[in-house]
Chains A and B, each alone.
Chain A
Amino acid sequence: MTLAEENGPERGGDDLLAAEYVLGVLPADERQIASGRIDAETGFARLVDSWEVHLSPMAAAYAEVEPPATVKPAIDRRLFSSTAASTTAAPSGSLWASLAFWRGLTAAALAALVLYVAVPYLRPPVVVPQERLVASLAADGSDVKYLVVYDAGRRDVGLSLVSGERAAGKDFELWMIEGKNAPVSMGVIPTGQTTHIAVTPAVQQKLAQGAVLAVSVEPTGGSPTGQPTGPVVAAGDLKGI
Protein backbone atom coordinates (compact mmCIF):
# COMPACT_ATOMS: atom_id res chain seq x y z
CA MET A 1 0.00 0.00 0.00
CA THR A 2 1.37 3.39 -0.94
CA LEU A 3 1.33 6.41 1.28
CA ALA A 4 -1.06 8.18 -1.06
CA GLU A 5 -3.57 5.36 -0.61
CA GLU A 6 -3.12 5.34 3.13
CA ASN A 7 -3.65 9.04 3.26
CA GLY A 8 -6.92 8.89 1.42
CA PRO A 9 -7.58 10.87 -1.73
CA GLU A 10 -9.94 13.32 -0.03
CA ARG A 11 -7.30 14.57 2.37
CA GLY A 12 -4.33 14.98 0.10
CA GLY A 13 -1.00 14.86 1.87
CA ASP A 14 -1.46 18.15 3.68
CA ASP A 15 -2.76 16.77 6.94
CA LEU A 16 0.17 14.37 7.14
CA LEU A 17 2.61 17.11 6.21
CA ALA A 18 1.10 19.27 8.97
CA ALA A 19 1.63 16.38 11.41
CA GLU A 20 5.24 15.95 10.33
CA TYR A 21 5.84 19.66 10.70
CA VAL A 22 4.40 19.73 14.22
CA LEU A 23 6.25 16.58 15.22
CA GLY A 24 9.42 18.31 14.02
CA VAL A 25 10.93 15.51 11.95
CA LEU A 26 11.20 17.30 8.59
CA PRO A 27 14.58 18.39 7.18
CA ALA A 28 15.35 22.12 7.07
CA ASP A 29 14.22 22.80 3.49
CA GLU A 30 10.87 21.03 3.90
CA ARG A 31 10.25 22.79 7.20
CA GLN A 32 10.86 26.10 5.52
CA ILE A 33 8.34 25.34 2.79
CA ALA A 34 5.77 24.20 5.34
CA SER A 35 6.36 27.30 7.44
CA GLY A 36 5.81 29.51 4.39
CA ARG A 37 2.51 27.75 3.73
CA ILE A 38 1.37 28.33 7.33
CA ASP A 39 1.75 32.06 6.72
CA ALA A 40 0.13 31.99 3.29
CA GLU A 41 -2.65 29.37 3.53
CA THR A 42 -5.32 29.55 6.20
CA GLY A 43 -6.43 25.98 5.54
CA PHE A 44 -2.96 24.57 6.04
CA ALA A 45 -2.42 26.77 9.11
CA ARG A 46 -5.58 25.26 10.59
CA LEU A 47 -4.33 21.71 10.02
CA VAL A 48 -1.07 22.59 11.77
CA ASP A 49 -2.91 24.21 14.67
CA SER A 50 -5.09 21.15 15.09
CA TRP A 51 -2.05 18.85 15.28
CA GLU A 52 -0.41 21.23 17.76
CA VAL A 53 -3.53 20.89 19.90
CA HIS A 54 -3.50 17.07 19.63
CA LEU A 55 0.17 16.68 20.50
CA SER A 56 0.57 19.53 23.00
CA PRO A 57 -0.14 17.41 26.11
CA MET A 58 3.23 15.72 25.55
CA ALA A 59 4.89 19.06 26.31
CA ALA A 60 4.07 18.47 29.97
CA ALA A 61 7.33 16.47 30.01
CA TYR A 62 9.45 19.59 29.45
CA ALA A 63 11.09 20.53 32.72
CA GLU A 64 11.14 24.18 33.74
CA VAL A 65 14.66 25.65 33.80
CA GLU A 66 15.23 29.21 34.99
CA PRO A 67 17.13 31.09 32.28
CA PRO A 68 20.09 33.30 33.29
CA ALA A 69 19.27 36.89 34.27
CA THR A 70 21.09 38.24 31.21
CA VAL A 71 18.49 36.96 28.75
CA LYS A 72 15.63 39.41 29.41
CA PRO A 73 17.80 42.57 29.11
CA ALA A 74 19.14 41.16 25.83
CA ILE A 75 15.57 40.70 24.54
CA ASP A 76 14.69 44.26 25.54
CA ARG A 77 17.78 45.56 23.76
CA ARG A 78 16.77 43.73 20.61
CA LEU A 79 13.21 45.01 20.73
CA PHE A 80 13.40 48.45 22.25
CA SER A 81 16.95 49.79 22.03
CA SER A 82 16.26 51.92 18.97
CA THR A 83 14.45 54.32 21.35
CA ALA A 84 10.73 54.64 21.84
CA ALA A 85 10.21 54.59 18.09
CA SER A 86 10.09 50.82 18.12
CA THR A 87 7.03 50.75 20.37
CA THR A 88 4.98 52.80 17.94
CA ALA A 89 6.35 51.00 14.89
CA ALA A 90 3.71 48.34 15.34
CA PRO A 91 2.37 46.55 12.28
CA SER A 92 0.41 49.15 10.36
CA GLY A 93 -3.26 48.72 9.74
CA SER A 94 -3.96 46.82 12.91
CA LEU A 95 -6.59 48.15 15.24
CA TRP A 96 -4.33 47.93 18.21
CA ALA A 97 -1.48 49.74 16.52
CA SER A 98 -3.73 52.63 15.75
CA LEU A 99 -5.07 52.49 19.29
CA ALA A 100 -1.59 52.81 20.69
CA PHE A 101 -1.00 55.77 18.45
CA TRP A 102 -4.27 57.38 19.34
CA ARG A 103 -3.67 56.72 23.00
CA GLY A 104 -0.45 58.70 22.77
CA LEU A 105 -2.26 61.64 21.22
CA THR A 106 -4.88 61.68 23.93
CA ALA A 107 -2.55 61.13 26.86
CA ALA A 108 -3.00 64.75 27.88
CA ALA A 109 -6.78 64.57 27.65
CA LEU A 110 -6.75 61.34 29.62
CA ALA A 111 -4.58 62.86 32.32
CA ALA A 112 -6.97 65.78 32.56
CA LEU A 113 -9.97 63.49 32.94
CA VAL A 114 -8.22 61.35 35.52
CA LEU A 115 -7.43 64.44 37.52
CA TYR A 116 -11.00 65.64 37.19
CA VAL A 117 -12.40 62.34 38.38
CA ALA A 118 -9.75 61.76 41.00
CA VAL A 119 -9.75 65.18 42.64
CA PRO A 120 -12.75 64.53 44.91
CA TYR A 121 -10.95 61.50 46.36
CA LEU A 122 -7.62 63.17 46.87
CA ARG A 123 -8.74 64.97 50.04
CA PRO A 124 -7.15 64.32 52.44
CA PRO A 125 -4.11 63.59 50.27
CA VAL A 126 -2.88 60.76 52.51
CA VAL A 127 -5.86 58.58 51.53
CA VAL A 128 -4.69 56.08 48.94
CA PRO A 129 -7.44 55.79 46.38
CA GLN A 130 -8.77 52.34 45.72
CA GLU A 131 -7.93 50.69 42.44
CA ARG A 132 -8.81 52.91 39.54
CA LEU A 133 -8.23 51.95 35.91
CA VAL A 134 -8.52 53.97 32.75
CA ALA A 135 -9.04 53.19 29.09
CA SER A 136 -9.34 55.21 25.94
CA LEU A 137 -11.67 53.64 23.41
CA ALA A 138 -11.34 54.26 19.68
CA ALA A 139 -11.19 52.29 16.43
CA ASP A 140 -10.11 52.63 12.86
CA GLY A 141 -12.75 54.03 10.54
CA SER A 142 -14.85 55.36 13.40
CA ASP A 143 -15.06 58.79 14.98
CA VAL A 144 -16.48 57.46 18.23
CA LYS A 145 -14.06 58.00 21.10
CA TYR A 146 -14.68 57.50 24.79
CA LEU A 147 -12.48 57.95 27.81
CA VAL A 148 -13.30 55.50 30.57
CA VAL A 149 -12.44 55.54 34.25
CA TYR A 150 -13.28 52.45 36.27
CA ASP A 151 -13.49 52.88 40.01
CA ALA A 152 -13.38 49.40 41.55
CA GLY A 153 -14.22 50.65 45.04
CA ARG A 154 -17.42 52.36 43.92
CA ARG A 155 -18.22 49.78 41.25
CA ASP A 156 -18.61 52.60 38.81
CA VAL A 157 -17.57 53.13 35.22
CA GLY A 158 -17.41 56.78 34.22
CA LEU A 159 -17.58 57.46 30.49
CA SER A 160 -16.69 60.68 28.78
CA LEU A 161 -17.70 61.00 25.14
CA VAL A 162 -14.83 62.67 23.31
CA SER A 163 -16.33 62.54 19.85
CA GLY A 164 -18.89 60.72 17.74
CA GLU A 165 -22.67 60.37 17.92
CA ARG A 166 -25.14 57.52 17.87
CA ALA A 167 -27.49 57.38 14.90
CA ALA A 168 -31.25 57.72 15.36
CA GLY A 169 -32.79 54.49 16.59
CA LYS A 170 -29.41 53.15 17.74
CA ASP A 171 -27.68 52.85 21.08
CA PHE A 172 -24.09 52.35 22.14
CA GLU A 173 -23.53 49.29 24.29
CA LEU A 174 -20.43 48.73 26.42
CA TRP A 175 -18.79 45.27 26.49
CA MET A 176 -16.03 43.71 28.49
CA ILE A 177 -13.79 41.16 26.76
CA GLU A 178 -11.50 39.13 28.93
CA GLY A 179 -8.98 36.78 27.35
CA LYS A 180 -10.66 34.63 24.74
CA ASN A 181 -14.05 34.67 26.43
CA ALA A 182 -17.18 35.92 24.74
CA PRO A 183 -17.93 39.61 25.35
CA VAL A 184 -19.94 40.37 28.48
CA SER A 185 -22.39 43.25 28.30
CA MET A 186 -21.91 46.04 30.82
CA GLY A 187 -25.04 47.78 29.64
CA VAL A 188 -26.26 50.44 27.24
CA ILE A 189 -24.28 53.66 27.57
CA PRO A 190 -26.65 56.45 28.61
CA THR A 191 -26.73 59.41 26.24
CA GLY A 192 -24.78 62.46 27.24
CA GLN A 193 -21.30 63.86 27.40
CA THR A 194 -20.39 62.40 30.79
CA THR A 195 -22.23 59.33 31.97
CA HIS A 196 -21.92 56.47 34.43
CA ILE A 197 -22.65 52.76 34.39
CA ALA A 198 -22.90 50.77 37.59
CA VAL A 199 -20.83 47.58 37.54
CA THR A 200 -22.50 44.33 38.57
CA PRO A 201 -20.60 42.07 40.99
CA ALA A 202 -20.24 39.40 38.26
CA VAL A 203 -18.56 41.84 35.91
CA GLN A 204 -16.51 43.34 38.71
CA GLN A 205 -14.84 40.02 39.40
CA LYS A 206 -13.46 39.91 35.87
CA LEU A 207 -12.87 43.59 35.32
CA ALA A 208 -9.16 44.04 35.85
CA GLN A 209 -6.12 45.52 34.26
CA GLY A 210 -5.79 44.12 30.75
CA ALA A 211 -9.48 43.51 30.16
CA VAL A 212 -10.63 45.03 26.90
CA LEU A 213 -13.62 47.35 26.73
CA ALA A 214 -15.50 47.77 23.48
CA VAL A 215 -18.44 49.86 22.29
CA SER A 216 -20.81 48.42 19.70
CA VAL A 217 -23.75 49.92 17.82
CA GLU A 218 -27.01 48.20 18.83
CA PRO A 219 -30.74 48.72 18.36
CA THR A 220 -32.30 51.09 20.93
CA GLY A 221 -32.29 49.40 24.31
CA GLY A 222 -29.30 47.20 23.61
CA SER A 223 -28.40 43.97 21.88
CA PRO A 224 -31.36 41.60 21.58
CA THR A 225 -29.10 38.53 21.67
CA GLY A 226 -26.80 39.20 24.60
CA GLN A 227 -23.84 39.40 22.22
CA PRO A 228 -22.74 42.35 20.10
CA THR A 229 -24.81 42.49 16.90
CA GLY A 230 -23.59 45.76 15.39
CA PRO A 231 -20.11 46.98 14.47
CA VAL A 232 -17.57 47.76 17.19
CA VAL A 233 -16.96 51.49 16.91
CA ALA A 234 -14.44 51.88 19.74
CA ALA A 235 -12.26 49.61 21.88
CA GLY A 236 -9.32 49.78 24.25
CA ASP A 237 -7.74 48.06 27.21
CA LEU A 238 -7.95 49.00 30.87
CA LYS A 239 -4.68 50.24 32.29
CA GLY A 240 -3.51 51.25 35.72
CA ILE A 241 -3.15 54.97 36.32
Chain B
Amino acid sequence: MTPQDISTLIVRTSMKDRAAFDLLYRQTSAKLFGVCLRVLRDRGDAEEALQEVFVKVWTKADRFAVSDLSPISWLVAIARNHAIDRIRSRRKPAADIGAALDVADPGPGPEAMVVAGGESERIYQCLEELEQDRAQAVRGAYLNGESYADLAERHKVPLNTMRTWLRRSLLKLRECLER
Protein backbone atom coordinates (compact mmCIF):
# COMPACT_ATOMS: atom_id res chain seq x y z
CA MET B 1 0.00 0.00 0.00
CA THR B 2 1.33 3.41 -0.97
CA PRO B 3 0.71 6.51 1.17
CA GLN B 4 -1.75 7.51 -1.54
CA ASP B 5 -3.73 4.31 -0.96
CA ILE B 6 -3.80 4.90 2.81
CA SER B 7 -4.99 8.47 2.17
CA THR B 8 -7.80 7.14 0.02
CA LEU B 9 -8.81 4.69 2.73
CA ILE B 10 -8.88 7.45 5.36
CA VAL B 11 -10.99 9.69 3.11
CA ARG B 12 -13.41 6.84 2.44
CA THR B 13 -13.53 6.06 6.16
CA SER B 14 -14.52 9.68 6.77
CA MET B 15 -17.49 8.96 4.53
CA LYS B 16 -18.41 6.06 6.82
CA ASP B 17 -17.36 3.39 4.34
CA ARG B 18 -16.92 0.25 6.43
CA ALA B 19 -15.11 -1.73 3.75
CA ALA B 20 -12.45 0.98 3.59
CA PHE B 21 -12.24 1.05 7.39
CA ASP B 22 -11.70 -2.73 7.49
CA LEU B 23 -8.93 -2.48 4.93
CA LEU B 24 -7.37 0.47 6.74
CA TYR B 25 -7.29 -1.64 9.91
CA ARG B 26 -5.66 -4.55 8.10
CA GLN B 27 -3.01 -2.30 6.61
CA THR B 28 -2.10 -0.21 9.64
CA SER B 29 -3.08 -1.99 12.87
CA ALA B 30 0.30 -3.71 13.32
CA LYS B 31 2.15 -0.37 13.28
CA LEU B 32 -0.35 1.28 15.62
CA PHE B 33 -0.32 -1.72 17.97
CA GLY B 34 3.48 -1.45 18.06
CA VAL B 35 3.09 2.19 19.15
CA CYS B 36 0.55 1.35 21.90
CA LEU B 37 2.63 -1.56 23.13
CA ARG B 38 5.83 0.42 23.36
CA VAL B 39 4.23 3.29 25.27
CA LEU B 40 1.98 1.24 27.54
CA ARG B 41 4.26 -1.79 28.02
CA ASP B 42 1.29 -4.00 28.82
CA ARG B 43 -0.45 -6.19 26.23
CA GLY B 44 -3.94 -5.99 27.71
CA ASP B 45 -3.70 -2.23 28.04
CA ALA B 46 -2.31 -1.89 24.53
CA GLU B 47 -5.15 -4.00 23.06
CA GLU B 48 -7.70 -1.83 24.82
CA ALA B 49 -5.93 1.31 23.60
CA LEU B 50 -5.82 0.04 20.00
CA GLN B 51 -9.60 -0.41 20.08
CA GLU B 52 -10.04 3.16 21.27
CA VAL B 53 -7.60 4.42 18.65
CA PHE B 54 -9.59 2.91 15.79
CA VAL B 55 -12.84 4.19 17.26
CA LYS B 56 -11.22 7.65 17.09
CA VAL B 57 -10.04 7.04 13.53
CA TRP B 58 -13.61 6.15 12.52
CA THR B 59 -15.13 9.22 14.15
CA LYS B 60 -12.41 11.75 13.36
CA ALA B 61 -11.24 10.67 9.91
CA ASP B 62 -12.49 13.94 8.41
CA ARG B 63 -9.81 15.82 10.36
CA PHE B 64 -7.13 14.19 8.22
CA ALA B 65 -7.89 16.72 5.49
CA VAL B 66 -6.61 19.65 7.57
CA SER B 67 -3.37 17.99 8.68
CA ASP B 68 -0.01 18.33 6.94
CA LEU B 69 0.99 14.88 8.15
CA SER B 70 1.44 11.93 5.83
CA PRO B 71 -1.42 9.45 6.26
CA ILE B 72 0.56 6.91 8.27
CA SER B 73 2.10 9.63 10.45
CA TRP B 74 -1.37 11.01 11.07
CA LEU B 75 -2.53 7.60 12.27
CA VAL B 76 0.60 7.12 14.39
CA ALA B 77 0.02 10.54 15.99
CA ILE B 78 -3.50 9.50 17.02
CA ALA B 79 -2.21 6.23 18.50
CA ARG B 80 0.76 7.86 20.25
CA ASN B 81 -1.26 10.65 21.78
CA HIS B 82 -3.95 8.26 22.89
CA ALA B 83 -1.48 5.84 24.47
CA ILE B 84 0.28 8.73 26.22
CA ASP B 85 -3.03 10.09 27.56
CA ARG B 86 -3.78 6.62 28.81
CA ILE B 87 -0.48 6.09 30.58
CA ARG B 88 -0.65 9.58 32.15
CA SER B 89 -4.04 8.79 33.65
CA ARG B 90 -2.82 5.58 35.27
CA ARG B 91 -3.21 5.88 39.02
CA LYS B 92 0.26 4.69 39.94
CA PRO B 93 3.36 5.57 37.97
CA ALA B 94 4.47 3.24 35.21
CA ALA B 95 5.10 -0.16 36.70
CA ASP B 96 8.77 -0.25 35.92
CA ILE B 97 10.62 2.66 34.43
CA GLY B 98 13.59 0.41 33.90
CA ALA B 99 11.54 -1.82 31.67
CA ALA B 100 11.20 1.02 29.21
CA LEU B 101 14.94 1.20 28.87
CA ASP B 102 15.15 -2.50 28.17
CA VAL B 103 12.94 -2.19 25.12
CA ALA B 104 15.29 -2.57 22.22
CA ASP B 105 15.57 0.68 20.33
CA PRO B 106 16.98 -0.07 16.93
CA GLY B 107 17.37 3.64 16.28
CA PRO B 108 16.66 5.18 12.95
CA GLY B 109 18.82 2.70 11.00
CA PRO B 110 20.12 3.68 7.57
CA GLU B 111 17.18 2.04 5.75
CA ALA B 112 14.59 3.97 7.69
CA MET B 113 16.42 7.20 7.00
CA VAL B 114 16.62 6.51 3.29
CA VAL B 115 12.95 5.53 3.13
CA ALA B 116 11.75 8.53 5.07
CA GLY B 117 13.69 10.99 2.95
CA GLY B 118 14.81 14.57 3.47
CA GLU B 119 12.58 15.68 6.34
CA SER B 120 13.67 12.61 8.26
CA GLU B 121 17.32 13.46 7.89
CA ARG B 122 16.62 16.97 9.09
CA ILE B 123 15.30 15.93 12.50
CA TYR B 124 18.17 13.48 12.92
CA GLN B 125 20.71 16.13 11.95
CA CYS B 126 19.15 18.49 14.46
CA LEU B 127 19.13 15.88 17.21
CA GLU B 128 22.82 15.38 16.57
CA GLU B 129 23.44 19.03 17.36
CA LEU B 130 22.14 18.44 20.89
CA GLU B 131 24.32 16.96 23.60
CA GLN B 132 24.05 13.22 23.47
CA ASP B 133 22.11 12.67 26.69
CA ARG B 134 19.63 15.40 25.77
CA ALA B 135 19.02 13.97 22.31
CA GLN B 136 18.45 10.65 24.01
CA ALA B 137 15.93 12.19 26.39
CA VAL B 138 14.02 13.69 23.44
CA ARG B 139 13.98 10.37 21.59
CA GLY B 140 13.05 8.48 24.74
CA ALA B 141 10.21 10.84 25.54
CA TYR B 142 8.90 10.63 22.00
CA LEU B 143 9.11 6.88 21.54
CA ASN B 144 8.33 5.64 25.06
CA GLY B 145 5.97 8.40 26.10
CA GLU B 146 7.98 9.23 29.21
CA SER B 147 6.76 12.20 31.26
CA TYR B 148 8.83 14.97 32.81
CA ALA B 149 8.39 13.10 36.08
CA ASP B 150 9.71 9.83 34.60
CA LEU B 151 12.69 11.58 33.06
CA ALA B 152 13.48 13.51 36.24
CA GLU B 153 13.52 10.30 38.24
CA ARG B 154 15.71 8.51 35.76
CA HIS B 155 18.23 11.34 35.51
CA LYS B 156 17.97 12.03 39.26
CA VAL B 157 17.27 15.75 38.88
CA PRO B 158 14.40 17.87 40.23
CA LEU B 159 11.35 17.97 37.99
CA ASN B 160 11.69 21.67 37.21
CA THR B 161 15.31 21.21 36.23
CA MET B 162 14.30 18.46 33.84
CA ARG B 163 11.62 20.67 32.35
CA THR B 164 13.99 23.57 31.80
CA TRP B 165 16.54 21.20 30.34
CA LEU B 166 14.14 19.66 27.85
CA ARG B 167 12.55 22.95 26.89
CA ARG B 168 15.99 24.32 26.02
CA SER B 169 16.55 21.26 23.85
CA LEU B 170 13.23 21.84 22.10
CA LEU B 171 14.12 25.48 21.43
CA LYS B 172 17.44 24.41 19.94
CA LEU B 173 15.64 21.83 17.82
CA ARG B 174 13.20 24.44 16.58
CA GLU B 175 16.00 26.82 15.74
CA CYS B 176 17.77 24.05 13.80
CA LEU B 177 14.60 22.81 12.03
CA GLU B 178 13.83 26.32 10.80
CA ARG B 179 17.36 27.08 9.69
Q: Within 8 Å CB of A87, what residues of B?
A: 16, 18
Q: How many residues of A contact B (CB 8 A)?
A: 61
Query: Cβ of A126 < 8 Å from any Cβ of B?
Result: no
A24 to B33, CA, bound (A): 18
Q: Smallest distance from the beta carbon of A40 to chain B beta carbons, Å?
A: 14
* B69 x A24 contact (CB < 8 A): no
Flag whether A20 is at the interface (Cβ < 8 A).
Answer: yes
Q: Within 8 Å CB of B15, what residues of A?
A: 96, 99-100, 237
- Which residues of B in the span 27-42 have a Cβ within 8 Å of any Cβ on A? 29-31, 33-35, 37-38
For A53, give its contact among B12, B73, B146 (CB under 8 Å).
B73
Cβ contact of A25, chosen from B37, B80, B141, cutoff 8 A: B141
Contact B16 A78 (CB under 8 A): no
**Cβ contacts A55-71/B at 8 Å (1 or 0 each):** 11111111111111011
A6 at the interface (CB under 8 A from B): yes
- Shortest B114–chain A CB gap in Å is 11
Q: How many A-B residue pairs have CB under 8 A?
A: 189
Q: Please state if B4 and A57 are interface contacts (CB–CB under 8 Å).
A: no
Taking the complex as formed, is A72 at the interface, i.e. its CB lies under 8 A from any CB of chain B? yes
Chain A residue contacts of B145, Cβ below 8 A? 24
Answer whether residue B97 sits at the interface, using C-beta atoms and an 8 A cutoff. no
Assess whether B29 is in contact with A72, with CB atoms less than 8 Å apart.
yes
Q: Provide the B96-108 mask, 1 if CB < 8 A to any CB of A, else 0.
A: 0000000001111
Q: Are A28 and B89 in contact (CB under 8 A)?
A: yes
Q: List chain A residues, Cβ under 8 A from B65.
A: 180
B: contact size bracket: 35 or more
Docked CA distance A22–B73 (Å): 13
Query: Is A122 in contact with chain B by the CB < 8 A criterion?
Result: no
B12 touches A25 (CB 8 A): no
- List the A side residues contacting B34 at CB < 8 Å: 62-65
Q: Are A211 and B8 in contact (CB under 8 A)?
A: yes
Q: Chain A's interface: helix, strand, loop or mixed, by majority?
A: helix
Contact across chains for B68 and A49 when beta carbons are under 8 A apart:
yes
Q: Given the complex of chains A and B, what is the CA–CA distance between A223 and B62 in angstroms?
A: 27
What residue of chain B has the Cβ atom nearest to residue A2's Cβ? Answer: B164
Smallest CB–CB gap between B122 and chain A, Å?
8
CA distance A25 to B160 in the complex (A): 12
Asked if A197 is at the interface of the complex by the 8 Å CB criterion, the answer is no
Give min CB distance, B169 to chain A, whole Å.
10
B166: interface (CB < 8 Å) = yes
Contact: B170 with A56, CB < 8 Å?
no
Using a CB-CB cutoff of 8 Å, which residues 56-114 of chain A contact chain B? 56-68, 70-72, 74-75, 78-80, 87, 90-91, 94, 96-97, 99-100
Say yes or no: A56 contacts B73, CB within 8 Å: yes
Contact yes or no, A3 B123, CB < 8 A = no
A50, A75, A91, A100, most chain B CB atoms within 10 A:
A75
List residues of B whose CB falls within 8 A of some A CB: 4, 7-9, 11-12, 14-18, 20, 22, 25, 29-31, 33-35, 37-38, 47, 50-51, 54-55, 58-59, 62, 65-70, 73, 76-77, 80-81, 84-85, 88-89, 105-109, 112-113, 115-116, 119-120, 122-124, 138-139, 141-143, 145-149, 151, 163-164, 166-168, 170-171, 173-174, 177
- 24 sample A-B contacts, Cβ–Cβ < 8 Å, listed by A number: A6-B171, A16-B167, A26-B88, A52-B69, A53-B73, A54-B122, A56-B69, A56-B76, A59-B73, A59-B80, A60-B108, A60-B120, A62-B35, A64-B30, A64-B34, A67-B29, A71-B51, A75-B54, A79-B55, A79-B58, A96-B62, A99-B15, A210-B17, A237-B12
